Chain A
Amino acid sequence: MKNTISHRVADFLKGFPPFTFLNQNDIELLSEQISIIYKEKDSVIFAENEETHDSFYVVHKGAIALRKGVKNDTIDMCDEGDIFGLRPLIANENYKMEARAYEETILYAIPIAIFRPYALQNKDVGNFLIQSFASNTSNPYSESYRGKLYGETLAGDLLDNNPQILDIQPVKYSKKIITCSSATSAKEIAQMMTKKNVGAILVVEDKLPIGIITDKDLRNKIVTGEYPITSAASVIMTSPVITYPKKLTTTQAQMAMMKSNISHICLTKDGTPNTKAVGILSKHDVMVSLGNNPAVLIKAVKRAKKYKEIKPIRASIMQLLQGYLDQNIPITLTSKIITELNDVCIQQVIAIALKKMTTPPPAKFAWLAMGSQGRSEQLLQTDQDNALVYEDVAEELKEKTKKYFLDLATHVNKGLFEIGYDYCPAEMMASNPKWCLSLGEWKDVVHHWITNTGKDEVLLSFIFFDYSLSYGDSELANKLSDFILEDIKANPVFYLHLVSGALQSPSPTGFFRQFLLEQDGANKDFFDIKRRALMPLSDAARVLILSHAVKSISNTPERFEKLAELEPQNRELYLSCAYSYKALLKFRTKQGLLHNDSGQYIALEHLTKLEKIKLKSTFKTIKELQEIISIRFNASNIL
């Protein structure tokens, strides 16, 4: 039956092969016969060796991991528009892989009986399927982003048994070619390259590449003064262009660049300079497909023009993180690098959001990251916690300014959601009018927390006081920090509330020296490493550092290291707190990567003896720390 939803499905399908080859009418007929399936994260669509279903699947939203073998290696990842589970239906065999929802997913299930006639009648559809089976991936188009998304694990795994495999991985190149004519001036060329953010421009004549100008050419020829800035492209270009066919593999591309000592290769239709250019391949592209490295990833993030483009890069960041942990790189360094990468992603999301606004910001503003992100301790993706502060404006502009920043924050929160940060369940996000305030308003709010302290105010201060600047005007953030420190100094009673708050997280060892496990909820019998081990440490660090009026250090281990400096008598304890915190954070991160979640809840039965001992030794430190605070601030009086 033709209806509104089948139209919706048809609209989606027609954007993806092989449905692109069908005419509108056929797609609509097909869409009337499908089912829409909702799968929770980690639920299985089909298992290895399971008998085939009567439908194959197209991913509408989310991602599906295809896994195989005892090691359960991820063979392929299907996201929006990818099809999977079709080959066994046509070959009449059982499923050869397991398909499992990698994240929450919506699938379209297309009955094979309905689809088969189209595959038989339509040559293009048939060809697509044959090609896709031959290349043994769910979708031949996915090859182009395989290198980016899962290239490292795939290449890494296969490399062990088969060193040539890299050869068959085609490189992803930029299809947007920036060109100029031989008469264009060097100045114009530099402007175009800056605007389009590219490192090379192609000089074309009759659509054929006759030369190339790179950053290096501009540096060597123009900036040295050898040629004037008005020189024509034909004078400064490197010619002839080194061209290759577009089916270049990563290794070939590397060889070609080394051989000719160049950083850019022009890809043409047939590989000769006599056909149209189809793309440009830079050293950077090769590096991206070769593997992940922070500098490359940062560059990739900064080039993103849509939120969606950042999401796969974030997957690479997670791979990088896994690699660092596997190689036992110190957690301080690891968290610095990952935090840096996370920050770049957030900054890019804000930059994209700003472009969506019709006017530039009416006042200076600062985007603040709060909670674990503010403390630079967020290795895994968790919820968003953020706030916005903007300059005080004249009374008559107040309403308009607030509306602007709320709109902006709504865009940013949505963007962060799209790249993988869940919305904060407690609405602590800048798009909430309570967390998007002018400097003056923020001062009032903070002052209220500090002078009218109740349980909620302590909690709010805990979350807010760890902020760090993600984007925007540092002066605003600084002014707010100064105000907070002064206000706390003037109201010392506030410490007591903070201390009692910090001591509320129960000490992780119970009376019988057992681990305290969660008593109820979905996480019964799990150990909540965040609430029971990390929070007591970070809460205590905050109270202590505030009492010393130290600003601008929000990272917990760094706070403890600073405290060790300030209080030599407790140096040992503080250093061991810093160490414990890092160890716990690493532990949590490893657990999170293992289970593709936030790592907050840990099943103790899966831990090795050694891991348990390590965990327990950190608990002793926590206990000592809590004692110190309790005595110093005489907290027993208020508890």
Chain B
Amino acid sequence: MTNFFKEWKTKLFDFLKITKKPIDEALLHSVESTRFVVLDTETTGFDYDNDRMLCIGAITLQDGIIAIPNAFEMYIHQEHYDKNSVQIHGILKDLVMKKPSELEVLQKFLAFLGDSIIIAHHTIFDITMINRALERNELPILTNKTLDTAFLYKKTLIRSNLLEYKDHYALDDLADKFDISKKDRHTAMGDAYITAIAFLKIVKKLKEKKRKGEFLLKDLFYY
């Protein structure tokens, strides 16, 4: 019996060791000093295999400052074009046809991105789209840390049985809640801007909620 417990204990500790992630040094920085890249992509649709990116819009965010000269907005030449999604992004085929190639845009984007932390709304979609494009062009996929405003926003909501939570909060929901103008919605750059301001407001709310000590980058990741 004793043996069994010992065995069980060691197993449990092994198990704990595996699941407990080591604290990443990089995550001990303050949120302010970190360079974030807030991005959004406009695509021909939602199918990772067949749809393509038409535009990448990205802005840098550091110390609460968005510097317009340090922004990235490039339209991508695409053969694949789905006329059904035009009504959402408003990018006409002609506009896309005379643009730089996917490879060129990706290279420039990687240089712009560096090792910054990526912020997007429903990040998984944009990251997957970009990664598929990187693979197609035989480039290494992204290894940057990522944050998702859709996910972080949920963390700001108060916990109460009286509240009904939505499963998905669209960027429009956040813009309404935080009183951010929806002008330029559905352009990559415009959406990136709304995401950036929403992120700043989310951080402010999470700071208020945090129990003690300084609010560090890790507080955004360890939910």
User: Which residue numbers of A lie inside 8 Å of B, CB to CB?
Assistant: 1, 3-9, 11, 31-40, 61, 104, 106, 109, 417-418, 423, 425-428, 434, 456, 459-460, 520-522, 524
Contacts and interface: CB of A to CB of B under 8 A. Distances in A.
B187 A426 contact: no
Contact of B187 (A4, A423, A428, A522): A4
Given A4-B57, A4-B187, A427-B163, A32 B210 contact: no
Nearest to B190: A4
Interface string B146-185: 0000000000011011111000000000000101000110
B209 A3 contact: no
Contacts of A36: 65-68
B219 interface: no
Nearest to B183: A8
A8 B184 contact: yes
Closest 6 CB pairs of A and B: A4-B189, A36-B66, A3-B73, A38-B64, A35-B67, A38-B200
14 contacts: A3-B57, A3-B68, A4-B188, A4-B189, A5-B68, A5-B71, A31-B68, A36-B67, A38-B200, A104-B204, A425-B157, A426-B160, A426-B163, A427-B164
B118 to A, nearest CB: 18
Contact of B197 (A1, A38, A522, A524): A38
B68 A32 contact: yes
Nearest to A433: B164
Contacts of A4: 57, 73, 184, 187-190, 193
Given A1-B69, A38-B197, A521-B211, 17 more contacts: A3-B57, A3-B68, A4-B190, A5-B59, A5-B68, A6-B68, A31-B68, A32-B69, A34-B68, A35-B65, A104-B201, A106-B197, A425-B157, A427-B164, A522-B207, A522-B210, A524-B212
A417 B65 contact: no
Contacts of B209: 521-522
A5 B58 CA distance: 11
B82 to A, nearest CB: 22
A476 to B, nearest CB: 24
A418 B176 CA distance: 12
A456 B69 contact: no
Contacts of B179: 61, 417-418
B162 A5 contact: no
A34 B70 CA distance: 10
Interface of B: 57, 59, 64-69, 71, 73, 157-158, 160-164, 177, 179, 183-184, 187-190, 193, 197, 200-201, 204, 207-212
Nearest to A3: B73
Summarize A's interface: helix, strand, loop or mixed.
Answer: mixed
A3 B162 contact: no
A61 B179 CA distance: 10
A64 B163 CA distance: 34
A6 B189 CA distance: 10
A434 B160 CA distance: 15
B158 A425 contact: yes
Contacts of B177: 423
Contacts of B160: 426
A392 to B, nearest CB: 25
A33 B210 contact: no
A3 B71 contact: yes
A318 B95 CA distance: 53
Nearest to A2: B73
B193 A5 contact: yes
Contacts of A425: 157-158
Contact of B162 (A1, A8, A38, A460): A460
Contacts of A428: 162
Given A36-B66, A425-B158, A1 B190 contact: no
A426 B156 CA distance: 11
Contacts of B68: 1, 3, 5-6, 9, 31-36
A545 B209 CA distance: 36
A79 to B, nearest CB: 15
Contacts of A32: 68-69
A35 B204 contact: no
B161 A456 contact: yes
B197 A459 contact: no
A5 to B, nearest CB: 5
Contacts of B200: 38
Contacts of A61: 179
Contacts of B187: 4
Contacts of A423: 177
Nearest to A61: B179
Contacts of B164: 427, 434
Contacts of B211: 520-521, 524
A598 to B, nearest CB: 13
A106 B196 CA distance: 12
B66 A35 contact: yes
Given A1-B71, A5-B189, A460-B162, A37 B65 contact: yes
A35 B69 CA distance: 8
A40 B204 contact: yes
A629 to B, nearest CB: 25
A33 B158 contact: no
Nearest to B161: A456
Contacts of B193: 4-5, 8
B195 to A, nearest CB: 12
A61 B178 CA distance: 12
A425 B209 CA distance: 13
Contacts of A8: 183-184, 190, 193
A339 B83 CA distance: 56
Contacts of A106: 197
Nearest to A522: B208
A258 B158 CA distance: 58
Contacts of B210: 522
A271 B157 CA distance: 59
B158 A3 contact: no
Contacts of A520: 211-212
Contacts of B66: 5, 35-38
A34 B184 CA distance: 18
Contacts of A39: 64
A520 B209 CA distance: 10
Contact of B189 (A3, A37, A109, A522): A3
Contacts of B197: 38, 106
Contact of B73 (A1, A33, A109): A1
Contacts of B157: 425
A116 to B, nearest CB: 17
A39 B64 CA distance: 7
A38 to B, nearest CB: 4
Nearest to A11: B183
A225 to B, nearest CB: 55
